[in-house]
Amino acid sequence: MKKGVVFGIAILAVLVFLVAPAFGHTPADLEKNSVLEEIIKRGELRVGFEAGYLPFEMADKKGDFIGFDIDVTKEMAKAMGVKWVPVNTAWDGIIPALITKKFDIIASGMTITQERNLKVAFADPYIIVGQTILLNKKNEGKVKSYKDLNDPKYVVTSKLGTTGEQAIKRLIPKATYKSFEVESEAALEALNGKADATVYDLPFCATFMAQQGKGKLIFLDEPFTYEPLAWAIRRGDPDFMNWLNNFLRQIKNDGRYERIYDKWIRSTDWIKEIE
């Protein structure tokens, strides 16, 4: 009886050894096919983002890319011992560009959503933001929260294909919605009185308010959604995901994350670099 059990286990082990490689599930195959291996061999970390999401990624007066995500991914490349390579990409094509290997990672203030998670894999969130409102001053006192905007008489703007747009459609569906390709254009509609309000992420709204909104806009700065931002990579790469999550833990505990957060989120001194 014991011999039969031992023989059965041996046969099973052989089958696993033979079948696993056929499905590409062995640890050696996963390691070999990891984007990490490509990055190290190439000597470059290619980072995909759309410049224009303040203060995460933008171009300064010299045309150089700056921002929260830029500094963090430069630290990432430094930790890998490779060159940092920016790949500025239009938002509506950024996930397809990742999937077709135009770059290695999306670091562009992307909110984790279930829909996006069907196409890409997300690392642990590196910052939590939410949707806030920039309100044209003519509506001061009449609109005190997003719920008050749920009326066809109010024109509300946001950026096409973003969680701001989703929040409007989900939480204030009766509002008259206008979408824009660029978030700053959506905000300018509210600033110039062509819209009653714009809905977008807290960091952008805080920055736009500091730059242009004084005396013209009311900033309803209490987020009314919960939105974790995270790096996105192609699915099926546990080694790269493990490296990213450990990198995030490391920088959050050695002072690097705090330094970058203070520079881009807590302070607005960087505005002079883009004006």
Mark whether 146 and 269 lie in a shared domain: no
Six token digits for residue 78: 């430094």
Euclidean distance between CA atoms 93 and 161, whole angstroms: 10
Mark whether 46 and 119 lie in a shared domain: yes
Euclidean distance between CA atoms 199 and 176, whole angstroms: 13
pLDDT at 30: 64
Residue 176 belongs to domain spanning: 131-225
CATH classification of the domain holding 52: 3.40.190.10
- Helix, strand, or coil here: 180? strand
Average pLDDT for 258-272: 90
Tell me what the pLDDT averaged over the chain comes to.
90
3-class SS string, 54-116: CCCEEECCCCCEECHHHHHHHHHHHHHCCEEEEEECCHHHHHHHHHCCCCCEECCCCECCHHH
Is 251 a residue whose pLDDT tops 90? yes
Mark whether 204 and 73 lie in a shared domain: no
What pTM was computed for the model?
0.75
Per-residue pLDDT tens for 9-44? Answer: 555 454 445 444 544 555 556 666 899 999 999 999
**What is the number of domains present in the chain?**
2
Per-residue pLDDT tens for 62-93? Answer: 999 999 999 999 999 999 999 999 999 999 99
Average pLDDT for 118-142: 96
> Look-up: residue for tokens 């009185």?
193
Residue 137 lies in a domain: yes
Orientation angle between helical segments 35-42 and 238-253, nearest 10 degrees = 70
Mark whether 249 and 163 lie in a shared domain: no
Per-residue pLDDT tens for 104-124? Answer: 999 999 999 999 999 999 999
Strands 65-66 and 127-129: unpaired
